[in-house]
Structure 1
């Protein structure tokens, strides 16, 4: 079983398409199809079901996928460990919450890029749920997510602490006013966002069970929709400081136990901690004074 074939298998599984996997891998679809068929012959079972829209994993493929990603990651880590000498270099693929990117990471990334120019750092935004899955399945080296994270395959380190606030149009004068609000809409990121889950829990506690969620992929769009009177949201206070200063939204404090949220940096327990990762963590530690990571 070739590692290259496992990488092809993982890409096809992730995209649900031979053609899109081929584009990512910079090859042609016929080559991807041939590799998948050869892999299926080798393991003796079909890994994908073909249909008009693409492919999807069979039960056997679903069971095999976590191991394929792990094997490919272990081989990459072994190569990285052998070559990891001298100044930090190579690639570092990280993920982050949209709010963390907006509020915390700019000075850290600026310092890191200046100090370690040979590291090719990429940053992907997503929800806590999607980012955690990407780290577990070895698509990201690490990620900033909302904690607490309790996963047997992950190392989690608290790096920031945020205060969540309810953000509403000025027409809503208090949190209690939500109980009598008509056609209430929540302006949120897609499913898997921890702030969205906390907002849903808050509304349920208040007896508001009919709020309609409107999903957006941009933090600016969410704040703009709230300012326009379309709905409400739940965000870290620092993210909405500018909007509050402009007096375009209203902000309502929550009880401390509901407001406090931890941002944690996660990575696989079994992953090799490269010099690039160590360098990034050191820059973050200096920048924030709180971040630490074990070897």
Structure 2
């Protein structure tokens, strides 16, 4: 078994087709098929189950796949490290929470893009759980997520501190009024959002159990629904400052440990830290005033 064998396994598994894998690998299907057969014979186990609809991994293939994917990431990182001469360039693909994107990143990204025009920042949003999964899978160089986060494959740096507040419609003026709401609903991001979990815990501390949550994909949609009296939510104070100033919502302070959350930046410990990402993180730490051993601030 060699590097090419594992690359072939990863490509076939991803496409579910030896023909499509062959096209990606710039070879013919017969070469892919013969290499898979030879690998299976050498290992003494079947890696794929063949059918008229394509191929699927067997249990043995599923056990092997993470190593093949890890090797592909290492090869891509090796190539990136070889090309990286210290001058920021290329694509910098990172992930972030919707709230962090709205509150913290626009000015930082604008300044960075102006200072380093050879870099193309690509920013993708998601929940903490989905962002962490994408970083571990090598789909993102790193991501801003809600702490605490702990994972043996990740380097984790605190970058921002946020205060969370309970957000209601203007008609709900006190926490006592929240407790009096019949059929209380929460308006939240999709499953995997850490703010959503904190909101459930806070309501439980008040003896409240909300109905099935209403899920939305944007801050604006959540604030609009809360303003209309559909339900309540938990968001960083800075994110809802304008809506509060405009009288669209009412904001309620919540006690520790529900009120304070760290925003962390996570990346794989075994990945290459590109010059572009290193410099961008330096600017993030300068802006926030939070420094860790993970990034040296010039």
Query: What TM-score, normalized to structure 1?
Result: 0.85
Equivalent-residue separation in structure 2 for 1:173 and 1:33 (angstroms)? 67
Equivalent-residue separation in structure 2 for 1:101 and 1:210 (angstroms)? 28
Equivalent-residue separation in structure 2 for 1:202 and 1:236 (angstroms)? 15
Unmatched runs of 5 consecutive residues or more in structure 1: none
The structure with more radius of gyration: 2
Structure 1 window deviating more from structure 2 (77-86 vs 285-294): it is 285-294
- 2:63 pairs with 1:67: no
Task: Describe the shift of the 1:35–1:259 C-alpha distance in structure 2 as closer, same or farther (beyond 3 A).
Answer: farther
- Paired residues, what number? 284
Equivalent-residue separation in structure 2 for 1:108 and 1:9 (angstroms)? 40
Cα distance, 1:245 vs. partner?
A: 0.4
Query: What TM-score, normalized to structure 2?
Result: 0.84
Task: Describe the shift of the 1:256–1:63 C-alpha distance in structure 2 as closer, same or farther (beyond 3 A).
Answer: same
Equivalent-residue separation in structure 2 for 1:11 and 1:229 (angstroms)? 45
Question: What per-residue deviation string (whole Å, max 9, x for no partner) do you get for residues 237-276 of structure 1?
Answer: 0000010000011110011322000000011111111211
Task: Look up the match of 1:103.
Answer: 103
Question: What per-residue deviation string (whole Å, max 9, x for no partner) do you get for residues 111-139 of structure 1?
Answer: 11111111222111000000001111111
Task: Look up the match of 1:5.
Answer: 8
SS in 2 for 1:88: coil
Cα distance, 1:68 vs. partner?
A: 2.4
Q: How does 1:214-253 map to 2 (within 5 A)?
A: 214-253=214-253
Task: Look up the match of 1:181.
Answer: 181
Task: Describe the shift of the 1:41–1:83 C-alpha distance in structure 2 as closer, same or farther (beyond 3 A).
Answer: same
Task: Describe the shift of the 1:51–1:131 C-alpha distance in structure 2 as closer, same or farther (beyond 3 A).
Answer: farther
Task: Look up the match of 2:277.
Answer: 277
Provide the alpha-carbon RMSD of the alignment. Answer: 2.9
Equivalent-residue separation in structure 1 for 2:126 and 2:28 (angstroms)? 28
Equivalent-residue separation in structure 1 for 2:95 and 2:55 (angstroms)? 27
Unmatched runs of 5 consecutive residues or more in structure 2: 41-45
Task: Describe the shift of the 1:239–1:34 C-alpha distance in structure 2 as closer, same or farther (beyond 3 A).
Answer: farther
Cα distance, 1:205 vs. partner?
A: 2.0
Task: Describe the shift of the 1:46–1:277 C-alpha distance in structure 2 as closer, same or farther (beyond 3 A).
Answer: same
Cα distance, 1:64 vs. partner?
A: 2.8
Task: Describe the shift of the 1:93–1:6 C-alpha distance in structure 2 as closer, same or farther (beyond 3 A).
Answer: farther
Equivalent-residue separation in structure 2 for 1:244 and 1:174 (angstroms)? 15
Cα distance, 1:191 vs. partner?
A: 0.5
Task: Look up the match of 2:37.
Answer: 41
